[in-house]
A = this chain, B = another copy of it.
Amino acid sequence: MKKRILVVGGVAGGATAAARAARTDPDAEVVLFDEDEHISYAACGIPYCMAQGADCQQLVARTAEQLERGQGLKVLLRHRALSIDADRRLLRLRDLEAGREREEPYDKLVIATGASAVMPPLEGREARGVFVLRTLAHGKLMTEFIKNEAPRRAAVVGAGPIGLEMCEAFSRLGMEVTLVELAPEVLPALPPDLAAAVNEHLESHGIRVLTETRLLGILTADGAVKGLSTDKGDIRSDLVLLSVGIRPSVDLASTAGVELGAKGAIRVDRRMRTSRQDIFAAGDCCTARHLVSGEEVWIPLGSTSRKQGRVAGANAAGKEETFPGILGTFILKCFEMAAGATGLDEERARAAGFKPVTVTVEGDAVPAYYAQRGKVRIRLVADAEGGRLLGAQLTGDIDANVDKRLDVLATAVAAGMTASELEALDLAYAPPFSHAVDLPLVAGTQAVRLLAPRPSDDPGAGSASG
A277 at the interface (CB under 8 A from B): no
Which of the listed residues A44, A331, A370 has the most CB atoms from chain B within 10 Å of its own CB? Answer: A370
What separation, in Å, do the CA atoms of A239 and B48 have in the docked complex? 49
Closest partner residue, chain B, to A462 (CB atom)? B310
Q: In the complex, are the beta carbons of B466 and A42 less than 8 A apart?
A: yes
What separation, in Å, do the CA atoms of A465 and B52 have in the docked complex? 19
A304 at the interface (CB under 8 A from B): yes
A275 at the interface (CB under 8 A from B): no
Q: In the complex, are the beta carbons of A437 and B307 less than 8 A apart?
A: yes
Which of the listed residues A303, A304, A328, A428 has the most CB atoms from chain B within 10 Å of its own CB? Answer: A428
Q: In the complex, are the beta carbons of A331 and B430 less than 8 A apart?
A: yes
Beta-carbon contacts under 8 Å, A422-457 to B: 423-434, 436-438, 441, 445, 456-457
**Chain A 270-311 near chain B by CB (<8 Å), digits 1 or 0:** 000000000000000000000100000000011111110010
What separation, in Å, do the CA atoms of A161 and B432 have in the docked complex? 14
Q: Which residues of B contact A323 (CB under 8 A)?
A: 424
A133 at the interface (CB under 8 A from B): no
Q: Which of B412, B416, B431 contacts A42 (CB 8 A)?
A: B431
- Of the stretches A84-92, A122-130, A225-233, A401-409, the one at the interface is A401-409
Q: Which of B310, B342, B428, B460 contacts A329 (CB 8 A)?
A: B428
Q: In the complex, are the beta carbons of A331 and B414 less than 8 A apart?
A: no
Whether A412 touches B415, Cβ cut-off 8 Å, given contacts A429-B302, A429-B330, is yes
Q: Which residues of B contact A404 (CB under 8 A)?
A: 401, 403-404, 407
A417 at the interface (CB under 8 A from B): yes
Q: In the complex, are the beta carbons of A369 and B54 less than 8 A apart?
A: yes
Q: In the complex, are the beta carbons of A306 and B437 less than 8 A apart?
A: yes
**Chain A 333-368 near chain B by CB (<8 Å), digits 1 or 0:** 100001010100000000000000000000000010
Q: In the complex, are the beta carbons of A458 and B403 less than 8 A apart?
A: no
**In the complex, what's the smallest C-beta–C-beta distance from A46 to chain B, in angstroms?**
10
Q: Which residues of B contact A431 (CB under 8 A)?
A: 42, 44-45, 48
Q: In the complex, are the beta carbons of A407 and B408 less than 8 A apart?
A: yes
Q: In the complex, are the beta carbons of A403 and B428 less than 8 A apart?
A: yes
Whether A42 touches B436, Cβ cut-off 8 Å, given contacts A26-B456, A404-B407, A408-B411, is yes
Q: In the complex, are the beta carbons of B369 and A59 less than 8 A apart?
A: yes
What separation, in Å, do the CA atoms of A398 and B431 have in the docked complex? 13
**In the complex, what's the smallest C-beta–C-beta distance from A54 to chain B, in angstroms?**
7
Q: Which of B23, B25, B426 contacts A303 (CB 8 A)?
A: B426
Whether A12 touches B436, Cβ cut-off 8 Å, given contacts A415-B415, A429-B302, is yes
A58 at the interface (CB under 8 A from B): yes
**In the complex, what's the smallest C-beta–C-beta distance from A396 to chain B, in angstroms?**
12
Q: In the complex, are the beta carbons of A303 and B436 less than 8 A apart?
A: yes
**In the complex, what's the smallest C-beta–C-beta distance from A72 to chain B, in angstroms?**
11
A332 at the interface (CB under 8 A from B): yes
**In the complex, what's the smallest C-beta–C-beta distance from A293 to chain B, in angstroms?**
14
A223 at the interface (CB under 8 A from B): no
A61 at the interface (CB under 8 A from B): yes
Q: Which of B12, B414, B436, B461 contacts A425 (CB 8 A)?
A: B414
A20 at the interface (CB under 8 A from B): yes
What separation, in Å, do the CA atoms of A181 and B434 have in the docked complex? 28
**In the complex, what's the smallest C-beta–C-beta distance from A415 to chain B, in angstroms?**
3
What separation, in Å, do the CA atoms of A284 and B26 have in the docked complex? 56
A121 at the interface (CB under 8 A from B): no
What separation, in Å, do the CA atoms of A416 and B414 have in the docked complex? 12
Q: List 25 A-B contacts (CB under 8 A).
A: A23-B460, A24-B456, A25-B456, A26-B456, A44-B430, A45-B370, A48-B432, A161-B430, A310-B445, A326-B426, A329-B426, A329-B427, A331-B429, A333-B430, A338-B433, A398-B432, A403-B428, A403-B433, A404-B407, A407-B408, A407-B438, A410-B425, A411-B412, A412-B415, A414-B425
18 further A-B pairs in the complex, CB-CB below 8 A; given A302-B429, A401-B403:
A12-B436, A20-B461, A54-B369, A61-B463, A329-B429, A330-B429, A330-B430, A338-B432, A342-B426, A398-B432, A401-B404, A403-B428, A407-B408, A407-B434, A410-B427, A410-B428, A415-B416, A415-B421
